[in-house]
Amino acid sequence: MEQITQIFAEASYYQLAAMLAAALFFFMIAFRELTDENFYGYFFAALGVFFLAIHALFLLNIPSTVSPLSNLGLWHWLIAFLAPSLIVLYLLFGFFNVLMARIRDGLVRIFFGLTLFCYLFMLGGGWPVDVRGILVLIWSGLWFGVETNTTT
């Protein structure tokens, strides 16, 4: 289940990863707004909780005969869903910043997204699942740090 071709073999992977990416996106906006003491942060946090709940409900209601997702543990979930969501968010924010003439910020985000992709799916294909999961957790913490420190 750890290979990138196996992760995106079914359409449900795309839907689950997209819902998780949307939840992370709205949680990041909520975090930014709440640190600026803006009331809209609560609205964005509610949207993040909504997408996270939809992700969880969809993941729990997939029949075990149809998909191998029923026996998914924490480390496999981190690699199968959180990692692709983080990679896409890093790359999208990076390309957006490059287009908006914030080259340095954009290149930092693109670098982090591509290094996570390379560590998990190119170099780390034979690494233990927990090591790869810890890398995903570190990169998710870095994502919150990069997004809050480089924005103006």
What's the pLDDT at 71?
65
As a whole number, mean pLDDT of residues 19-29 equals 91
State the average pLDDT over residues 129-150. Answer: 81
How high is the pLDDT of residue 50?
A: 95
Q: pLDDT tens, 112-124?
A: 899 989 888 888 7
Torsion angle in degrees (nearest 10) through CA of 149, 101, 135, 18 = 100
Question: 146 with 113: CB under 8 angstroms?
Answer: no
Under 8 Å between Cβ of 113 and 90: yes
Predicted model pTM: 0.80
